[in-house]
Structure 1
Amino acid sequence: MAFGDVVRARRTELGIGLNELAERLEISPGYLSRVERNLDKPPSDEIVQRVAAILGIPLDALFVEAQRLPPDMRSDMGSVVLAYRRMRTLRAGRRSL
Protein backbone atom coordinates (compact mmCIF):
# COMPACT_ATOMS: atom_id res chain seq x y z
CA MET A 1 0.00 0.00 0.00
CA ALA A 2 1.37 3.44 -0.89
CA PHE A 3 2.09 6.12 1.72
CA GLY A 4 -0.98 8.20 0.87
CA ASP A 5 -3.26 5.15 0.96
CA VAL A 6 -2.02 4.23 4.45
CA VAL A 7 -2.54 7.77 5.74
CA ARG A 8 -6.03 8.10 4.25
CA ALA A 9 -7.16 4.67 5.47
CA ARG A 10 -6.00 5.33 9.03
CA ARG A 11 -7.35 8.89 9.08
CA THR A 12 -10.81 7.75 7.98
CA GLU A 13 -10.70 4.78 10.36
CA LEU A 14 -10.16 7.23 13.22
CA GLY A 15 -12.88 9.57 11.95
CA ILE A 16 -10.49 12.48 11.45
CA GLY A 17 -11.38 14.84 8.62
CA LEU A 18 -8.84 15.86 6.02
CA ASN A 19 -9.04 19.52 7.07
CA GLU A 20 -8.56 18.61 10.73
CA LEU A 21 -5.48 16.50 10.05
CA ALA A 22 -4.02 19.15 7.75
CA GLU A 23 -4.51 21.76 10.48
CA ARG A 24 -2.87 19.55 13.11
CA LEU A 25 0.05 18.94 10.74
CA GLU A 26 0.25 22.64 9.84
CA ILE A 27 0.05 21.90 6.10
CA SER A 28 -2.57 22.88 3.54
CA PRO A 29 -5.56 20.60 3.00
CA GLY A 30 -4.80 20.66 -0.72
CA TYR A 31 -1.29 19.34 -0.17
CA LEU A 32 -2.55 16.62 2.19
CA SER A 33 -5.19 15.64 -0.36
CA ARG A 34 -2.53 15.31 -3.07
CA VAL A 35 -0.34 13.23 -0.75
CA GLU A 36 -3.25 10.95 0.16
CA ARG A 37 -4.07 10.44 -3.52
CA ASN A 38 -0.39 9.70 -4.22
CA LEU A 39 -0.18 12.66 -6.58
CA ASP A 40 2.63 14.24 -4.59
CA LYS A 41 5.69 12.66 -3.03
CA PRO A 42 5.53 11.79 0.68
CA PRO A 43 6.18 14.81 2.91
CA SER A 44 9.30 15.72 4.86
CA ASP A 45 10.62 13.50 7.65
CA GLU A 46 9.20 15.91 10.22
CA ILE A 47 5.70 15.66 8.75
CA VAL A 48 5.95 11.86 8.44
CA GLN A 49 6.87 11.72 12.14
CA ARG A 50 3.91 13.93 13.08
CA VAL A 51 1.52 11.88 10.93
CA ALA A 52 2.70 8.72 12.68
CA ALA A 53 2.18 10.27 16.11
CA ILE A 54 -1.25 11.72 15.35
CA LEU A 55 -2.61 8.65 13.58
CA GLY A 56 -0.93 6.06 15.80
CA ILE A 57 0.97 4.41 12.95
CA PRO A 58 4.34 2.81 13.84
CA LEU A 59 7.00 5.25 12.67
CA ASP A 60 9.21 2.68 10.97
CA ALA A 61 6.23 1.28 9.05
CA LEU A 62 5.26 4.74 7.83
CA PHE A 63 8.81 5.48 6.67
CA VAL A 64 8.78 2.18 4.76
CA GLU A 65 5.55 3.27 3.04
CA ALA A 66 7.26 6.58 2.23
CA GLN A 67 10.03 4.48 0.65
CA ARG A 68 12.82 5.82 2.81
CA LEU A 69 14.75 4.84 5.88
CA PRO A 70 13.96 6.41 9.24
CA PRO A 71 16.43 9.24 9.95
CA ASP A 72 18.12 7.40 12.81
CA MET A 73 19.01 4.50 10.48
CA ARG A 74 20.47 6.49 7.60
CA SER A 75 23.94 6.77 9.09
CA ASP A 76 23.98 2.97 9.46
CA MET A 77 22.92 2.35 5.85
CA GLY A 78 26.24 0.93 4.70
CA SER A 79 26.37 -1.52 7.59
CA VAL A 80 22.76 -2.56 7.01
CA VAL A 81 23.37 -3.24 3.32
CA LEU A 82 26.49 -5.30 4.05
CA ALA A 83 24.70 -7.32 6.74
CA TYR A 84 21.79 -7.96 4.40
CA ARG A 85 24.07 -9.12 1.59
CA ARG A 86 25.97 -11.45 3.94
CA MET A 87 22.69 -12.93 5.16
CA ARG A 88 21.51 -13.50 1.58
CA THR A 89 24.81 -15.16 0.67
CA LEU A 90 24.58 -17.47 3.69
CA ARG A 91 21.00 -18.43 2.85
CA ALA A 92 21.90 -19.11 -0.78
CA GLY A 93 24.80 -21.32 0.36
CA ARG A 94 22.51 -23.37 2.59
CA ARG A 95 20.09 -24.00 -0.27
CA SER A 96 22.82 -25.45 -2.44
CA LEU A 97 23.87 -28.04 0.17
Structure 2
Amino acid sequence: MGFGIYARQVRERRREANLRYSIRQTAQRIGVEPGYLSKIERGETSPPSEAMVRRLAMDLGEDTDLLLAMAGKVSRDIREIIIQRPILFAELIRSLGEAPDEELAILVHKVRNAEWVRKRRTLLDCSAID
Protein backbone atom coordinates (compact mmCIF):
# COMPACT_ATOMS: atom_id res chain seq x y z
CA MET A 1 0.00 0.00 0.00
CA GLY A 2 1.32 3.42 -0.92
CA PHE A 3 1.69 6.49 1.24
CA GLY A 4 -1.31 8.36 -0.17
CA ILE A 5 -3.74 5.46 0.07
CA TYR A 6 -2.64 4.72 3.63
CA ALA A 7 -2.97 8.38 4.64
CA ARG A 8 -6.47 8.53 3.11
CA GLN A 9 -7.56 5.39 4.96
CA VAL A 10 -6.31 6.78 8.27
CA ARG A 11 -7.98 10.15 7.63
CA GLU A 12 -11.27 8.50 6.66
CA ARG A 13 -11.23 6.33 9.79
CA ARG A 14 -10.68 9.46 11.88
CA ARG A 15 -13.51 11.18 10.00
CA GLU A 16 -15.97 8.43 10.98
CA ALA A 17 -15.45 9.47 14.60
CA ASN A 18 -14.84 13.18 14.06
CA LEU A 19 -16.04 15.30 11.15
CA ARG A 20 -13.04 17.63 11.50
CA TYR A 21 -11.09 15.12 9.40
CA SER A 22 -12.70 16.05 6.10
CA ILE A 23 -10.19 16.47 3.31
CA ARG A 24 -10.81 20.22 3.29
CA GLN A 25 -10.31 20.68 7.04
CA THR A 26 -7.30 18.38 7.17
CA ALA A 27 -5.67 20.21 4.26
CA GLN A 28 -6.29 23.55 5.95
CA ARG A 29 -4.71 22.38 9.22
CA ILE A 30 -1.56 21.07 7.51
CA GLY A 31 -1.25 24.10 5.23
CA VAL A 32 -2.00 22.72 1.75
CA GLU A 33 -4.79 23.04 -0.80
CA PRO A 34 -7.51 20.37 -0.58
CA GLY A 35 -6.93 19.48 -4.24
CA TYR A 36 -3.26 18.79 -3.56
CA LEU A 37 -4.05 16.57 -0.57
CA SER A 38 -6.62 14.75 -2.70
CA LYS A 39 -4.00 14.09 -5.39
CA ILE A 40 -1.60 12.76 -2.76
CA GLU A 41 -4.27 10.46 -1.34
CA ARG A 42 -5.09 9.12 -4.81
CA GLY A 43 -1.41 8.58 -5.61
CA GLU A 44 -1.53 11.05 -8.51
CA THR A 45 1.48 13.03 -7.33
CA SER A 46 4.73 12.17 -5.63
CA PRO A 47 4.77 12.10 -1.83
CA PRO A 48 5.13 15.50 -0.18
CA SER A 49 8.09 17.01 1.66
CA GLU A 50 9.31 15.71 5.00
CA ALA A 51 7.82 18.77 6.72
CA MET A 52 4.38 18.15 5.25
CA VAL A 53 4.49 14.44 6.09
CA ARG A 54 5.35 15.42 9.67
CA ARG A 55 2.41 17.86 9.84
CA LEU A 56 0.05 15.23 8.42
CA ALA A 57 1.30 12.58 10.85
CA MET A 58 0.79 14.93 13.78
CA ASP A 59 -2.69 15.92 12.60
CA LEU A 60 -3.74 12.30 12.08
CA GLY A 61 -2.10 11.06 15.26
CA GLU A 62 0.08 8.65 13.28
CA ASP A 63 3.69 7.63 13.80
CA THR A 64 5.89 10.10 11.93
CA ASP A 65 8.60 7.56 11.09
CA LEU A 66 6.00 5.19 9.64
CA LEU A 67 4.50 7.84 7.36
CA LEU A 68 7.95 9.09 6.32
CA ALA A 69 9.01 5.55 5.42
CA MET A 70 5.81 5.00 3.45
CA ALA A 71 6.56 8.25 1.59
CA GLY A 72 10.04 6.93 0.77
CA LYS A 73 11.72 9.44 3.06
CA VAL A 74 14.04 9.26 6.05
CA SER A 75 13.78 11.83 8.82
CA ARG A 76 16.55 14.38 9.06
CA ASP A 77 17.82 13.15 12.44
CA ILE A 78 18.17 9.57 11.20
CA ARG A 79 19.80 10.76 7.98
CA GLU A 80 22.38 12.70 9.99
CA ILE A 81 23.18 9.64 12.12
CA ILE A 82 23.67 7.49 9.02
CA ILE A 83 25.88 10.12 7.36
CA GLN A 84 28.26 10.00 10.33
CA ARG A 85 29.01 6.28 9.68
CA PRO A 86 27.48 5.38 6.31
CA ILE A 87 29.36 2.13 5.66
CA LEU A 88 28.55 0.68 9.08
CA PHE A 89 24.89 1.64 8.90
CA ALA A 90 24.50 0.37 5.33
CA GLU A 91 25.97 -2.99 6.36
CA LEU A 92 23.82 -3.10 9.49
CA ILE A 93 20.60 -2.32 7.63
CA ARG A 94 21.34 -4.84 4.88
CA SER A 95 22.20 -7.50 7.47
CA LEU A 96 18.96 -6.87 9.33
CA GLY A 97 16.85 -6.84 6.18
CA GLU A 98 15.86 -10.50 6.47
CA ALA A 99 15.77 -10.72 10.26
CA PRO A 100 12.47 -11.79 11.82
CA ASP A 101 10.58 -9.09 13.74
CA GLU A 102 11.11 -10.94 17.03
CA GLU A 103 14.89 -10.82 16.60
CA LEU A 104 14.77 -7.13 15.69
CA ALA A 105 12.68 -6.42 18.80
CA ILE A 106 15.29 -8.19 20.95
CA LEU A 107 18.08 -6.19 19.33
CA VAL A 108 16.23 -2.88 19.86
CA HIS A 109 15.63 -3.81 23.50
CA LYS A 110 19.34 -4.58 24.00
CA VAL A 111 20.38 -1.28 22.42
CA ARG A 112 17.88 0.76 24.43
CA ASN A 113 19.12 -0.82 27.65
CA ALA A 114 22.83 -0.62 26.84
CA GLU A 115 25.02 1.18 29.36
CA TRP A 116 26.11 3.87 26.84
CA VAL A 117 22.48 4.65 26.02
CA ARG A 118 21.53 4.96 29.69
CA LYS A 119 24.49 7.29 30.31
CA ARG A 120 23.49 9.44 27.34
CA ARG A 121 19.89 9.68 28.58
CA THR A 122 21.13 10.70 32.03
CA LEU A 123 23.30 13.43 30.52
CA LEU A 124 20.39 14.67 28.40
CA ASP A 125 18.07 14.67 31.40
CA CYS A 126 20.62 16.65 33.45
CA SER A 127 21.13 19.20 30.70
CA ALA A 128 17.36 19.71 30.45
CA ILE A 129 17.27 20.63 34.13
CA ASP A 130 19.93 23.36 33.78
TM tier relative to shorter chain: 0.7 to 0.9
Deviation at 1:70, TM superposition (A): 1.5
Q: Which of 23, 29, 36 is the matching residue for 1:18? A: 23
Larger radius of gyration: 2
Q: CA deviation at 1:82?
A: 2.4
Q: Does 1:67 align with 2:67?
A: no
Contact 2:50/2:73 (<8 A) preserved: no
Letter in 1 for 2:23: L
- Which has more helix, going by share of residues? 2
SS in structure 2 of the partner of residue 52 of structure 1: helix
The 5 Å alignment of 1:12-51 reads: 12-15=12-15, 16-51=21-56
The runs of at least 4 consecutive aligned structure 1 residues that moved more than 4 Å come to none
TM-score by length of 1: 0.82
For structure 2, the 5+ residue unaligned runs are 16-20, 100-130
User: What is the deviation of 1:81?
Assistant: 0.9
Query: Could you say what secondary structure the match of 1:30 adopts?
Result: helix
The answer for the alignment partner of 2:4 in structure 1 is: 4
Identity, % of aligned positions? 32
Shift of 1:76: 2.7
Number of residue-to-residue matches in the alignment: 88
Structure 1, gaps ≥5 residues long: 92-97
2:92 and 2:30 mapped to 1: Cα distance? Answer: 36
Give the Cα separation in 2 of the matches to 1:14 and 1:35. 18
SS in 2 for 1:68: coil
Q: Distance in 2 between matches of 1:54 and 1:45?
A: 14
